[in-house]
Structure 1
């Protein structure tokens, strides 16, 4: 059998073996997404028999783009994503560098570090809700010792946003730290030795040696965290219910309320579709950045 024929046969076997998984993916992912996109272009009525498409229209998107609620949710989601991911990246790199320098107890510290990340977000949000409670919360009590009158943390927009960001940073910084630590342990010792021979100090070594080598893993960490933060739902749903008012209402919560509170299927699908397109744009942007960083790292290693 010739090499091209053998390659084609292996390809057919590969497609045959992966076909069941592809069918499952299509059933639970592709079809619901396509159905949601189609519904977003309709005006849907609810009957005793289920959904009834009354009209095909672009009015859902026109109403959504002209809605102040959508703009506020978009601004909040974007700002929340940028701030939390930036803080998590800085803290994650710092924690990873600390763990990389440890020679004793690294395993125990890493296990403790992963406890927040391993907690279900709903449970984590409920825990922080107890801490922020205006009556018996430990955080409220601590602020009462420092301030004349402790704030109602979850009842005021700025403190509520800050409190939610703190809860998210506490939970997801370990994820960033573990990814960065995986990149740190792969840096050859010869690079540190060469920097030391050149007379570089600790900070100069970090900037010139460590950060360039960490670009690919940092890009991956940022990509995953941006996707998670942009689609945040469970944390504000449990912690603040999108309040006070709509101060912490994310795009995901806005779509949820349109679907299940207002029973406006078309509007909810439009919000979900628009959010998905924004997330897709972020994916493509970060994949491009990630690819360029991999090329830079490869060129640096070759030289």
Structure 2
């Protein structure tokens, strides 16, 4: 009888956890602790990011009536999107924003890559040069726009004085649509090219030197090494820089708002500036939020397509 009871007790005992089960349990406990400690930050992010986006979508789909105490929502409709899609000013702002983004990002990536290659080869003074590069990037965009507005001013601007001194007349840099767009691009390229250069330098420093030594042993020249080794290995870094710059350039607001005011006329009116004018000057909150939501959707689609093409190229390589 005693032997039978001992056998039953032994059979009912829970076997000790295996090493895999112990690791799994430890990971679950660590995950729970991580969620507990990160939940306050996640709540703040939701309040300052997710909620405004969701509220903007709601406003874009609502009949918004401005009152003395704020605004009221009266039903949901797609008329706001129909209104902006049929507006010529929205189509121009879209074309200008896309054109501005493509040109500035392309120039900044090319110049930033070249500057990064030069800085990576420097043995002395690299830290000083990188510190000088960070000056334009660290400058607040509003202050940078005010600086360039003074440079391009048609009465007492520095560029006006230089052109007059060398006998090229007195061009109005901010007075015509073409010159205003070019001037705004110059100001943006001056400010954000150092950002791309710093990212490229960081990517170059992390590249494995064994590959370059093997290329040198095989007799590859500098140009061949750059096209066949450096540039393919640097693609993820350049893609990251392009992605960041697309997100920033497509939502450009402060530079045209301060430098050109969106003018002359609507020449430098981006989607962000048009959304601001529609909401806070025309008090059309529904259409203004529809412009903002449409811009966000377009830039999201563009980034997803870019990432898809980039992944396909990396897979082929």
What TM-score, normalized to structure 1? 0.93
Larger Rg: 2
Counterparts in 2 of 1:127 and 1:200: CA distance versus 1, 3 Å = same
The question of 1:249 aligning with 2:269 is answered yes
Aligned positions of 1:11-50 closer than 5 A: 11-50=31-70
Regions of 4+ moved over 4 Å: 289-296
Deviation at 1:188, TM superposition (A): 2.3
Q: Which residue of 2 aligns with 1:273?
A: 293
The question of 1:197 aligning with 2:220 is answered no
Q: Which residue of 2 aligns with 1:108?
A: 128
**Counterparts of 1:120 and 1:231 in 2: how far apart (Å)?**
16
The question of 1:56 aligning with 2:93 is answered no
Structure 1 residues without counterparts, runs of 5 or longer:
none
Secondary structure of the residue that 1:184 maps to in structure 2? helix
Choose which of 148, 152, 155 in structure 1 pairs with 2:175.
Answer: 155
The CA RMSD over aligned residues, in Å, is 1.6
Q: Which moved more, 1:43-52 or 1:177-186?
A: 43-52
**Counterparts of 1:230 and 1:238 in 2: how far apart (Å)?**
17
Choose which of 209, 213, 218 in structure 1 pairs with 2:238.
Answer: 218
Q: Which moved more, 1:21-30 or 1:222-231?
A: 21-30
Q: Which residue of 2 aligns with 1:206?
A: 226
Q: Which moved more, 1:45-54 or 1:138-147?
A: 138-147
The question of 1:88 aligning with 2:111 is answered no
Do the aligned residues in 2 keep the contact of 1:215 with 1:293 (CA within 8 Å)? no
Q: Which residue of 2 aligns with 1:9?
A: 29
What TM-score, normalized to structure 2? 0.89
**Counterparts of 2:46 and 2:117 in 1: how far apart (Å)?**
41
Deviation at 1:279, TM superposition (A): 1.6
Q: When the two structures are aligned, how many residues end up with a matched partner?
A: 297
**Counterparts of 2:178 and 2:287 in 1: how far apart (Å)?**
28
Deviation at 1:114, TM superposition (A): 0.8
Deviation at 1:6, TM superposition (A): 3.0
Deviation at 1:144, TM superposition (A): 2.6
The question of 1:98 aligning with 2:98 is answered no
**Counterparts of 2:277 and 2:167 in 1: how far apart (Å)?**
36
**Counterparts of 1:149 and 1:32 in 2: how far apart (Å)?**
49
Deviation at 1:175, TM superposition (A): 0.3
**Deviations along 1:170-216, whole A, 9 cap, x unmatched?**
00000000000111112222222222222222111111111011000
Choose which of 299, 302, 308 in structure 2 pairs with 1:288.
Answer: 308
**Counterparts of 1:6 and 1:96 in 2: how far apart (Å)?**
44
